[in-house]
Amino acid sequence: MDYQQLGIQILRLVGGKDNVNSLTHCATRLRFDLFDKNIVDCDAIMKLTGVISIVDSGGQFQVVIGNEVQQVYQAISQNLSNQEHGKVRSKKKEGILSYIIGIISTSFTPVIPALTGAGMIKALLAICKLMGVLSPDSHTYYLLDMLADAAFFFMPILLAYGAASKFSCNPILAMTIAGAMLHPNLGKLMALGQDVSFIGIPVKLADYSGSVLPIIITVWAMSYIERFAEKVTPSMIKFFIKPMLILLIAGPLALVIIGPFGILLNDLVAQGAGYINSKASWLIPMLMGGLQPFLIITGTAWAMTPIATGQLSRNGSEMINGPGMLASNIAQGAATLCVAIKTKNKNLKQLGYSAGFTALLGITEPSLYGVTLKLKRPLIASMIGGGVAGVYAGVSGLLRYAFVSPGLAGLPAFIGDNPMNIVHALVTCCIAIVVTFVLTWFMGFDDPIDEDDLIETIDTVSTLSSTNNSVAADLSNVILSSPLTGKVIPLSEVKDDVFSKNLIGDGIAIEPNQGKVVAPISGKVVSLLESKHAIGIKSDQGIEILIHIGLDTVKLGGQFFTAKVEQGQRVNVGDELIEFDLAAINQAGYMTTTPIIILYSDEYFVENIKKNMVTIGEDLILVKKSNQGDNHAL
């Protein structure tokens, strides 16, 4: 695939580079911060080859690409001009919740690679320690552990960059202020235990390492300070006066007011989560396990990230995101793989296997947007399975010790001092797989029609119509008798779009309980496929009828079907046309729903006579010439 060209097309369809305030990406999706979302051509983006889905939530316009997102991101980045910091275009107002989620998402997205890499080093050290390869007292272990801790210790500096992108201010100055909040001298003042003041204002000292909210709030305030400095600073001295003013105002504001307030918020949220966990340890993992797909779709999954990263930074483990996400991701993979096994659609099968294994490894967007969300019932099954597995994760006290995307590839992140923790993680995975797979299998899904089957059906009609292209003869009150015995169902309920949407004609369908098809009217057999699953008859009155035994049964290649007539043969009402092994076809996994279609129904008035059960030879369909050219199936 030409990812360079795909990136150019996406950029054009989101309104061009002038409509892009900022662009980031995560593991599977592009995340646009746009000035005007109303000019985005969503339909055209969805039709692009390589685009799985689009999501507009959390203050961002997101394009789901899959594992190749970075290549598309680089292609778009090459075509984006650098935005001048401090020059902000007006944007359409959004809801407060959407705005807050957008801030968290944009701030964390650039940080994810560092946190994931550091998390995997932590997991690797846990394995080495467990296997006795590295001693915790060795210098090698010490240095690697320090490397892994760096991303969490310097979290405010990393978040400052993303927050500056969101608020359109200078990222270097934002990172400088974050560096001041982590300066060793601040730690020395705290160690002295003395009262500290700034121009007479008492300063409450705090440890900002690993914190989230203080720096994000600070950068938000700094964006306004920067605009103020831009206005009041003379052009001749702006180069050095503007950054000085920003640091002089934003720095003390961060250390004296915003920082302590942010730490207080952090502590309150952490205490609230801890209280819930102490009273109902199963609740948070159950909710995360069951609702994670919904949170991803709505863009609110980022809401819990600050709490989880705060717990990891301070405690070395977390129970907010990891356990529930493990249950949810594994359940999503199980549902998608079940679809891949069960579907007869070749494209869906290929996508299901690829996206399913990717979801099991911890990346669920291709599975969610490409398979389960479209089919609906597998999504419901995955949410139930994730919730059930989440209950076990919570009751067992499952913890995540490193920031990685929870899945089979991230299981080492659940190895810690408690040797049973990884066992609980494995049991959580097993519960999610079994419950979800069984539910998906029995709940089923509407299998989309395979393009080859559509072509086959259209070819059947083309073969029938090419035999005689004459316009239907005049007729009145022609009644077709039933060619089968079984239950009558409306054509709209047939699980095949070619028939249910009347793409080739109107009629009725029958769920047969006997493997025998007879002629519904006297005429000539004008089409009989080699697979013997479909037969076309042209009646003496000129009506063209297609009887299609089962759905997708062309794939059986004629197995279980026996033709009793030949193409070109004349038949009378009640003559046997085809025998088929009803039980064998069902056992092979194919539906035997049989549509009886009046081709070119816009030329006729078609009325279904029977509404429930029917036997061979009973009146089934009334057909007469339509003067209006309308189709009137009742």
Closest CA to 266 of 209, 214, 205: 214
- The DSSP-derived string for 365-415 is HHHIIIIIHHHSHHHHHHHHHHHHHHHHHHHTT--B-S-S--SGGGGGGG-
Fill in the DSSP letter of residue 448.
Answer: P
505/595 Cα distance (integer angstroms): 10
Any idea how long the chain is?
634
| Strand pairing report for 53-57 and 29-34 | unpaired
Please return the burial class of 330, using the count of CB atoms within 10 Å of its CB with bins 0-12, 13-18 and 19+.
buried
Closest CA to 119 of 385, 368, 318, 289: 318
The region that residue 119 occupies, defined by phi over 0 for left and psi between -120 and 50 for alpha, beta otherwise, is alpha
Q: At what angle do helices 112-131 and 139-153 cross, to 10 degrees?
A: 150
The region that residue 550 occupies, defined by phi over 0 for left and psi between -120 and 50 for alpha, beta otherwise, is left
Closest CA to 318 of 361, 285, 283, 362: 285
Two tokens, residue 50: 């390589």
Spell out the SS3 assignment of 144-201.
HHHHHHHHHHCHHHHHHHHHHHHHCCCHHHHHHHHHHHCCHHHHHHHHHCCCEEECCE
Instruction: Give first-to-last CA distance, the chain, whole Å.
Output: 48
Task: Provide the residue type at 19 as one letter.
Answer: N
Say if residues 109 and 162 touch (Cβ distance below 8 Å).
yes
Among residues 25, 424, 533, 548, which one is catalytic?
Answer: 548
Fill in the DSSP letter of residue 318.
Answer: B
146/110 Cα distance (integer angstroms): 21
281/216 Cα distance (integer angstroms): 30
CA triple 305-361-153, angle to 5 deg = 35
Among residues 26, 169, 338, 429, which one is catalytic?
Answer: 26
**Residues with Cβ within 8 Å of residue 175, at least 6 apart in sequence:** 157, 160, 161, 164
CA triple 568-569-574, angle to 5 deg = 135
3/71 Cα distance (integer angstroms): 6
Q: Is 26 a catalytic residue?
A: yes
Q: Is 169 a catalytic residue?
A: no
Two tokens, residue 534: 């479909």
Say if residues 222 and 257 touch (Cβ distance below 8 Å).
no
What are the angstrom distances between the C-alpha of 533 and each of 34, 288, 603?
53, 48, 26
**Residues with Cβ within 8 Å of residue 374, at least 6 apart in sequence:** none
Catalytic amino acids? 26, 548
